[in-house]
Protein backbone atom coordinates (compact mmCIF):
# COMPACT_ATOMS: atom_id res chain seq x y z
CA UNK A 1 0.00 0.00 0.00
CA UNK A 2 2.75 2.59 0.70
CA UNK A 3 3.28 5.14 -2.08
CA UNK A 4 -0.07 4.78 -3.93
CA UNK A 5 -1.06 7.91 -5.88
CA UNK A 6 2.46 9.25 -5.72
CA UNK A 7 3.78 6.13 -7.45
CA UNK A 8 1.18 6.57 -10.19
CA UNK A 9 2.20 10.19 -10.68
CA UNK A 10 -1.11 11.62 -9.44
CA UNK A 11 -0.85 14.79 -7.37
CA UNK A 12 -3.16 14.32 -4.35
CA UNK A 13 -3.69 18.11 -4.20
CA UNK A 14 -5.57 17.82 -7.49
CA UNK A 15 -7.77 14.92 -6.38
CA UNK A 16 -11.45 15.30 -5.57
CA UNK A 17 -12.65 14.64 -2.03
CA UNK A 18 -14.21 11.37 -3.23
CA UNK A 19 -10.96 10.18 -4.84
CA UNK A 20 -9.03 11.12 -1.70
CA UNK A 21 -11.53 9.21 0.41
CA UNK A 22 -11.11 6.11 -1.71
CA UNK A 23 -7.33 6.41 -1.58
CA UNK A 24 -7.37 6.85 2.19
CA UNK A 25 -9.64 3.83 2.64
CA UNK A 26 -7.24 1.85 0.44
CA UNK A 27 -4.28 2.82 2.63
CA UNK A 28 -2.62 5.37 0.37
CA UNK A 29 -0.22 7.52 2.43
CA UNK A 30 -0.24 10.28 -0.20
CA UNK A 31 -3.98 10.58 0.23
CA UNK A 32 -3.59 10.62 4.02
CA UNK A 33 -1.12 13.50 3.73
CA UNK A 34 -3.53 15.46 1.56
CA UNK A 35 -6.49 14.69 3.83
CA UNK A 36 -4.38 16.03 6.70
CA UNK A 37 -3.42 19.15 4.74
CA UNK A 38 -7.00 19.90 3.76
CA UNK A 39 -8.82 19.15 6.99
CA UNK A 40 -6.41 19.39 9.93
CA UNK A 41 -7.36 23.08 10.42
CA UNK A 42 -11.04 22.06 10.68
CA UNK A 43 -10.26 19.31 13.20
CA UNK A 44 -7.90 21.54 15.20
CA UNK A 45 -10.47 24.37 15.28
CA UNK A 46 -13.24 22.06 16.45
CA UNK A 47 -11.02 20.68 19.22
CA UNK A 48 -9.79 24.11 20.30
CA UNK A 49 -13.31 25.53 20.52
CA UNK A 50 -14.45 22.56 22.59
CA UNK A 51 -11.39 22.34 24.83
CA UNK A 52 -10.30 25.96 25.04
CA UNK A 53 -6.65 24.91 25.01
CA UNK A 54 -4.36 25.07 22.00
CA UNK A 55 -2.00 22.33 23.18
CA UNK A 56 -4.80 19.92 24.03
CA UNK A 57 -6.37 20.69 20.65
CA UNK A 58 -3.09 19.80 18.90
CA UNK A 59 -2.96 16.50 20.80
CA UNK A 60 -6.56 15.72 19.87
CA UNK A 61 -5.89 16.59 16.23
CA UNK A 62 -2.95 14.17 16.15
CA UNK A 63 -5.07 11.49 17.80
CA UNK A 64 -7.81 12.00 15.21
CA UNK A 65 -5.52 11.51 12.22
CA UNK A 66 -3.79 8.55 13.84
CA UNK A 67 -7.20 6.99 14.54
CA UNK A 68 -8.29 7.74 10.96
CA UNK A 69 -5.22 6.02 9.57
CA UNK A 70 -5.54 3.03 11.87
CA UNK A 71 -9.28 2.75 11.23
CA UNK A 72 -9.16 3.46 7.50
CA UNK A 73 -10.42 -0.03 6.62
CA UNK A 74 -13.68 0.79 8.43
CA UNK A 75 -14.22 4.04 6.56
CA UNK A 76 -16.92 3.93 3.89
CA UNK A 77 -16.46 6.81 1.41
CA UNK A 78 -19.94 6.29 0.01
CA UNK A 79 -21.45 7.30 3.38
CA UNK A 80 -19.93 10.75 3.44
CA UNK A 81 -16.88 12.93 2.80
CA UNK A 82 -13.67 12.51 4.78
CA UNK A 83 -14.24 15.75 6.69
CA UNK A 84 -17.49 14.38 8.16
CA UNK A 85 -15.75 11.19 9.22
CA UNK A 86 -12.85 13.13 10.73
CA UNK A 87 -15.11 15.48 12.69
CA UNK A 88 -16.97 12.45 14.05
CA UNK A 89 -13.69 10.99 15.28
CA UNK A 90 -12.73 14.42 16.66
CA UNK A 91 -15.95 14.68 18.67
CA UNK A 92 -15.19 11.34 20.32
CA UNK A 93 -11.58 12.35 21.06
CA UNK A 94 -12.71 15.70 22.48
CA UNK A 95 -15.17 13.88 24.73
CA UNK A 96 -12.33 11.61 25.89
CA UNK A 97 -10.11 14.63 26.60
CA UNK A 98 -12.87 16.35 28.58
CA UNK A 99 -13.52 13.17 30.57
CA UNK A 100 -9.80 12.88 31.37
CA UNK A 101 -9.77 16.53 32.42
CA UNK A 102 -12.73 15.90 34.73
CA UNK A 103 -11.03 12.83 36.22
CA UNK A 104 -7.89 14.85 36.94
CA UNK A 105 -9.93 17.63 38.53
CA UNK A 106 -11.80 15.12 40.71
CA UNK A 107 -8.53 13.50 41.78
CA UNK A 108 -7.08 16.91 42.59
CA UNK A 109 -10.16 17.87 44.61
CA UNK A 110 -10.09 14.55 46.48
CA UNK A 111 -6.40 14.98 47.27
CA UNK A 112 -6.99 18.56 48.37
CA UNK A 113 -9.85 17.44 50.63
CA UNK A 114 -7.63 14.82 52.26
CA UNK A 115 -4.61 17.11 52.56
CA UNK A 116 -5.75 20.74 52.66
CA UNK A 117 -3.18 23.33 51.71
CA UNK A 118 -2.87 26.26 54.07
CA UNK A 119 -3.07 29.71 52.48
CA UNK A 120 0.58 30.39 53.19
CA UNK A 121 1.50 27.14 51.45
CA UNK A 122 -0.27 28.06 48.20
CA UNK A 123 2.59 30.27 47.00
CA UNK A 124 5.11 27.53 47.67
CA UNK A 125 2.89 25.02 45.85
CA UNK A 126 2.58 27.33 42.85
CA UNK A 127 6.35 27.77 42.74
CA UNK A 128 6.81 23.99 42.92
CA UNK A 129 4.33 23.49 40.04
CA UNK A 130 6.18 26.03 37.89
CA UNK A 131 9.53 24.45 38.73
CA UNK A 132 8.20 20.99 37.93
CA UNK A 133 6.79 22.21 34.61
CA UNK A 134 10.11 23.82 33.68
CA UNK A 135 12.11 20.73 34.59
CA UNK A 136 9.70 18.49 32.70
CA UNK A 137 10.19 20.67 29.61
CA UNK A 138 13.96 20.13 29.85
CA UNK A 139 13.71 16.34 29.60
CA UNK A 140 14.41 14.59 26.30
CA UNK A 141 11.32 14.56 24.07
CA UNK A 142 10.53 10.85 24.49
CA UNK A 143 10.76 10.96 28.28
CA UNK A 144 8.77 14.20 28.41
CA UNK A 145 6.08 12.71 26.16
CA UNK A 146 5.67 9.62 28.33
CA UNK A 147 5.54 11.58 31.59
CA UNK A 148 3.10 14.19 30.24
CA UNK A 149 0.76 11.50 28.92
CA UNK A 150 0.95 9.79 32.29
CA UNK A 151 0.59 12.88 34.51
CA UNK A 152 -1.65 15.16 32.49
CA UNK A 153 -3.80 12.71 30.52
CA UNK A 154 -4.01 9.97 33.16
CA UNK A 155 -2.88 7.30 30.71
CA UNK A 156 -1.47 3.98 31.85
CA UNK A 157 1.76 2.73 30.34
CA UNK A 158 -0.08 0.28 28.02
CA UNK A 159 -2.32 3.16 26.87
CA UNK A 160 0.76 5.31 26.25
CA UNK A 161 2.31 2.49 24.21
CA UNK A 162 -0.86 2.27 22.13
CA UNK A 163 -1.07 6.06 21.67
CA UNK A 164 2.59 6.49 20.68
CA UNK A 165 3.06 3.21 18.82
CA UNK A 166 6.11 2.45 20.99
CA UNK A 167 6.64 -0.99 22.54
CA UNK A 168 5.50 -1.22 26.17
CA UNK A 169 9.06 -1.93 27.34
CA UNK A 170 10.24 1.27 25.65
CA UNK A 171 7.50 3.28 27.35
CA UNK A 172 8.47 1.80 30.73
CA UNK A 173 12.15 2.62 30.13
CA UNK A 174 11.37 6.21 29.14
CA UNK A 175 9.12 6.61 32.20
CA UNK A 176 11.78 5.23 34.54
CA UNK A 177 14.61 7.33 33.06
CA UNK A 178 12.41 10.42 32.92
CA UNK A 179 11.38 10.08 36.56
CA UNK A 180 15.00 9.57 37.59
CA UNK A 181 16.15 12.65 35.64
CA UNK A 182 13.26 14.69 36.95
CA UNK A 183 14.06 13.65 40.51
CA UNK A 184 17.74 14.49 40.03
CA UNK A 185 16.91 17.90 38.58
CA UNK A 186 14.44 18.75 41.32
CA UNK A 187 16.93 17.72 44.01
CA UNK A 188 19.58 19.82 42.25
CA UNK A 189 21.72 16.81 41.39
CA UNK A 190 23.15 15.52 38.13
CA UNK A 191 20.56 15.27 35.37
CA UNK A 192 22.32 12.50 33.48
CA UNK A 193 20.85 9.10 32.73
CATH number of the domain that residue 182 is part of: 1.10.10.10
Residues spanned by the domain of 52: 1-116
Q: Which residues contact 90 (CB under 8 A, 6 or more apart)?
A: 43, 46, 47, 60, 61, 64
Instruction: Look at residues 87, 116, 145 and tell me which one is the last residue of a structural domain.
Output: 116
Q: In the chain, how many domains are there?
A: 2
Q: In the listed set 116, 147, 182, which residue is the last one of a domain according to the structure?
A: 116
* Residues 104, 152 contacting (CB under 8 angstroms): yes
pLDDT by 10s per residue, the chain, length 193: 444 544 456 788 888 888 888 888 888 998 999 999 999 999 999 999 998 888 889 999 999 999 999 999 888 888 888 899 999 999 999 999 888 888 877 777 777 676 665 555 566 666 777 777 777 778 888 888 888 888 888 888 889 999 999 998 898 988 899 888 877 777 765 444 4
- Cα-based distances in Å from 19 to 12, 42, 99, 104, 137: 9, 20, 36, 42, 42
Amino acid sequence: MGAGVLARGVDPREMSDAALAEGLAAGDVGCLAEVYRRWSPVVRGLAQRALGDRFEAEDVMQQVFLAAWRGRSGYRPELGPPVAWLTGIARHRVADALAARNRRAALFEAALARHPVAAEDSTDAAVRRVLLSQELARLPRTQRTVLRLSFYEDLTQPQIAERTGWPLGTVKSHARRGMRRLGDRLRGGDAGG
